[in-house]
Structure 1
Amino acid sequence: MDPVVHFEMPYRDRDRMAAFYSKAFGWTMQMLGAEMGNYAVATTAVSDAIPDGYRGVINGGFFERKDDWPDQYPSVVIAVKDVRAKMKEITAAGGEVLGEPMMIPGVGDYVSFRDTEGNRVSILQALPQGR
């Protein structure tokens, strides 16, 4: 079973988005630069501070909304062992892989796909620990 490990949502104003989620929910944001698409990594929980009953809490991120990008809606990221093998499984199951995997430095290989219902979802093959 491949678990959901991350969520993503688009933003129009990164500073406004970060202020809202920090103020409303206490999340912390790591603002990445232009080389990473001005992505904002959202930490929603620290592993040693997760409340009882909330095992499996995930963190996420926000991407800049672009007029010419498709499928800019909240989505989830699923962890996989082999991103290229999973791309083949997604296609065989009726999904549509959206491009080629991109390497996220310090994280791993990432690619989005559309499921059979038209939802944009992503998969991530994480780098081995300690890299």
Structure 2
Amino acid sequence: MCAVMHFEMPYKDADRAARFYAAAFGWTHQNLGPEMGDYLLVTTALPGERANMPPQAAPGAINGGLFPFKADWPMQHPSVVIDVDDIEVAMARVTAAGGEILGEPMDIPGIGRYVSFVDTEGNRNSMMAPTA
């Protein structure tokens, strides 16, 4: 079974979005800068102990990120990122199950290989094979 490992949402104004989620929910953020596409890494849960997992969140909790909205990108909606062992194998499973892969996998240095897909219900989500 592949678990949800991360969520993503687009933003139109990074500072405004960061202020909103900090004020409304107490989330913190880290701007990864232009070299990482101005991605805002979001922490929603304090560190906790999880067997065989990095201490990034309390058991059962996930963190996420906000990305800049771009008018020419497809389907920019809130979505989840699903943890997979092998991106190519998972892409084949998505296609065989009736989904559509959006583009080619991209390498995120020090993090893993990532690609988005559309499920049979028209929802855009993503999957990532973390770097070992």
Q: Is the TM value for this pair above 0.5? A: yes
Pairs aligned (count): 124
Partner of 2:124: 120
Give the Cα–Cα distance (whole angstroms) in 2 for the partners of residues 113 and 93 of structure 1: 12
Equivalent position to 1:97, from 94, 101, 104: 101
Query: Does the aligned pair in 1 maintain the 2:94–2:101 contact within 8 Å?
Result: yes
Structure 1: 5+ residue stretches without partners: none
Superposed CA RMSD:
1.3
Which deviations, in whole Å up to 9, do the C-alpha atoms of 1:43-65 show, x marking residues without a partner? Answer: 1112239xxxx741100000101
TM-score, normalised to structure 1's length?
A: 0.90
Q: Does 1:82 find its partner at 2:86?
A: yes
Partner of 1:111: 115
Q: Which moved more, 1:39-48 or 1:113-122?
A: 39-48
Partner of 1:56: 60
Which deviations, in whole Å up to 9, do the C-alpha atoms of 1:22-78 show, x marking residues without a partner? Answer: 1221111010111211110001112239xxxx7411000001011111101000000
Shift of 1:21: 0.9
Q: What is the letter of the counterpart of residue 111 of structure 1?
A: V
Identity, % of aligned pairs? 60
Structure 2: 5+ residue stretches without partners: 50-57
